[in-house]
Amino acid sequence: MRTGLSALLLLGAWATSVAVPASAVGAPASTGTSDAPASDALLDAMRRDFGLTRAQAEERLSAEKRATAVESKARRAAGAAYGGSWFDADSGALTVAVTAAASPGTLDAVRATGATVRTAKYSARHLDAAKARIDKLSAPEGVSSWHVDAKAGSVVVSVVGAQRADNDVRAFLARARAAGPVTVQEAVEAPQTFAAGTVGGDPFYTGNVRCSIGFSVHGGFVTAGHCGRAGAGVSGWDRSYIGNFQGSSFPDNDYAWVNVGSGWWTVPVVLGWGTVSDQLVRGSAEAPVGASICRSGSTTHWHCGTVLAKNETVNYSQGAVHQMTKTSVCAEPGDSGGSFISGDQAQGVTSGGWGNCSSGGQTWHQPVNEILNRYGLRLHTA
């Protein structure tokens, strides 16, 4: 059995995290940040993808951990005046937008958390309500996605440049503007999911589709919903039976979970593919906008980038998917379902995007905490 695990960790092409497999027993997952030092491999990956020195990479990770801890405190302190937040890599600080109606005491309470305060025209609640109204609209193919942008103080709608003059796109934008404050930006390409046909030697497989494991949970693993429907059988890198999709949702959501057995087991690991060492998963504290984030997948292995937006609605050809996180990390077909991780904290499973890892692109992930809550699962942590 130990030989099988080694083969999985070395050959298990697919995705990030987890060696997958079999009965899981362990302590319940923590969503708190960890004090464990960053691995040399993670620092090397950040040096490669961000052009940082080792000291700069260490400082950025430390600053992001502080910002993650500050974000929830600042949100509570701001209350109804909260307008959103983002991490600034240059200053190493978390900025929190607060509406002008906030009292001096509220502003002092937010600053006391360690956050930088900026005045916002609209509250996050106001912008979220506007986005929810846009979510009810039927988007044409030329509309790529939309999300609340705290910096812009509006709902940002991305439109494929070549289709911006399309009548259906223009009509959608008019309806969107009627729903609330909207900013339009150009998308390079339309998003697509990253599932792929069978490629020998890389798990996991469902029929003729290859996808990537996301994160181990007690009793199985989580992945993307477009990789398989509930009840579908799943086989691993060696084509041996793993289990079945126990739950799956796509579109609207893009998440699923698979039970494991038949000699497979779960471990709290994200594969580094030789680019970095395998990464331990210690929790699932959500990184703020602007923080660094890395992805592991069976096709393109390990790549890093930045969190660009949260709660974005992505308009795939199969239908819209909600509550996604957008990143500057590249991905390609077969990476679907794979792990997004920030430091040692699980973030989400790869859904889709545009571009590739030669010329660059953007990728969305479905937040892991949403998946855990939806199915009542516990993340397997170190």
Catalytic machinery residues: 226, 254, 336
Query: Residue 160 forms beta bridges with which residues?
Result: 187
Give the separation between CA 101 and CA 179, rounded to whole angstroms.
Answer: 22
Helix (H) or strand (E) holding 350: strand 345-356
Residue 352 tokens read as 């889709």
Instruction: Give the β-pairing of 116-120 and 241-249.
Output: unpaired
Give the separation between CA 348 and CA 304, rounded to whole angstroms.
Answer: 14
- Calculate the alpha carbon distances from 325 to 10, 169, 281, 315 in Å: 29, 23, 19, 13
Question: Cis before residue 288, ω within 30 degrees of 0?
Answer: no
Q: What does the H/E/C string look like for 15-80?
A: CCCCCCECCCCCCCCCCCCCCCCCCHHHHHHHHHHHCCCHHHHHHHHHHHHHHHHHHHHHHHHHHH
Nearest to 236 by CA among 25, 23, 3, 4: 4
